[in-house]
A = this chain, B = another copy of it.
């Protein structure tokens, strides 16, 4: 059985105390500046937390990025906060060299067993079929930006920043999927909401540091491409939000991400 890249690179190993794990942060998921992408590092934290909780799906994830996490060993400490009938709550802390780099508070639930009312008032982006969208990756890899090799991206139209002509409107719609064919699931979605070039690149901003990332998981995704809408509406005194909504290949909303980030 083939192990997919995402699963291999977020794997955790039980350590010598209950709830504790070790992991190896890989350099295959790095963004600008060759720093491991925050969403990828979050994936390691969630792997450890899921091993401790009784429910299978992340429901809400709040990730506070304290310091950069670098390639190499990381220690993972989990805490079971509460086990409920419908929702479990847990906390997880990542550390390198004794310094905490990421703290995550999260709820897990069984989204497969949820059976209440449904009433939908939003729409997925109106994207052409993925095969009709240009493949930007044919232009070649960007040195250090290894995360771009882990996913396939299909934009309806190439972002302005790719041509050196930012559009001035920080809103992007695109398809995404893992490059090696791994299908999406609720565990990977919190990584995926951080795996696309920031919307503020359309404002000519080339880097942005995530301070905090919240993801609300809404359904288990179907197999296939994921449709994404990525938007920043308020850049204020250097801080900006980025909303990142994802729909699966059947048009069902599966995740709503919102991060607060800081321009340099």
Residues of A within 8 A of B (CB): 59-60, 62, 64, 66-67, 81-82, 84, 86-87, 89, 91, 100, 103, 105, 107, 111, 114-122, 169-171, 203, 205, 211-212, 214, 216, 218-219, 232-239, 241, 253, 256, 258, 260, 262-263
Q: Is the CB of B121 within 8 A of A258?
A: no
Residue of B nearest to A121 (CB): B233
**Shortest Cβ distance from A170 into chain B, in angstroms?**
7
Chosen A-B contacts, 26 in total, with CB atoms closer than 8 Å, are A60-B64, A64-B81, A64-B105, A64-B107, A66-B89, A81-B103, A82-B100, A89-B103, A103-B105, A105-B105, A107-B211, A107-B260, A111-B237, A114-B239, A116-B235, A116-B237, A116-B239, A117-B203, A118-B236, A120-B234, A120-B236, A121-B169, A121-B233, A218-B241, A241-B256, A258-B258
Looking at the assembled complex, report how far the CB atom of A162 sits from the nearest CB atom of chain B, in whole angstroms: 20
Contact partner of A86 among B64, B236, B262, CB < 8 A? B262
Most buried by B among A81, A119, A263: A119
- Shortest C-beta distance, A166 to chain B (Å), equals 11
| Given A87-B211, A218-B234, 13 further pairs, Cβ under 8 A | A59-B239, A62-B64, A107-B211, A107-B260, A114-B237, A116-B237, A116-B238, A117-B238, A120-B233, A120-B235, A121-B232, A212-B216, A218-B239
Minimum C-beta distance from A157 to chain B (A): 19
Nearest CB on B from A77, distance (A): 13
**Whole-angstrom CA separation of A87 from B210 in the bound complex:** 12
In the assembled complex, the CB of A64 is this many whole angstroms from the nearest CB of chain B, namely: 6
B62 touching A81, Cβ below 8 Å: no
Please measure, in the bound complex, the distance between the C-alpha atom of A205 and the C-alpha atom of B236, giving whole angstroms.
36
Which secondary structure dominates chain A's binding surface? strand
Min Cβ gap A136→B in Å is: 24
Instruction: Provide the residues of chain B in CB contact with A103, threshold 8 Å.
Output: 81, 89, 91, 105
A234–B122 Cα distance when bound, in Å, is 7
Contact of A82 with B66 at beta-carbon distance under 8 Å, contacts A234-B122, A256-B241 already known? yes
Residues of B within 8 A of A67 (CB): 82
- Complex contacts, A115 vs chain B, CB 8 Å: 237-238
CA distance A256 to B117 in the complex (A): 26
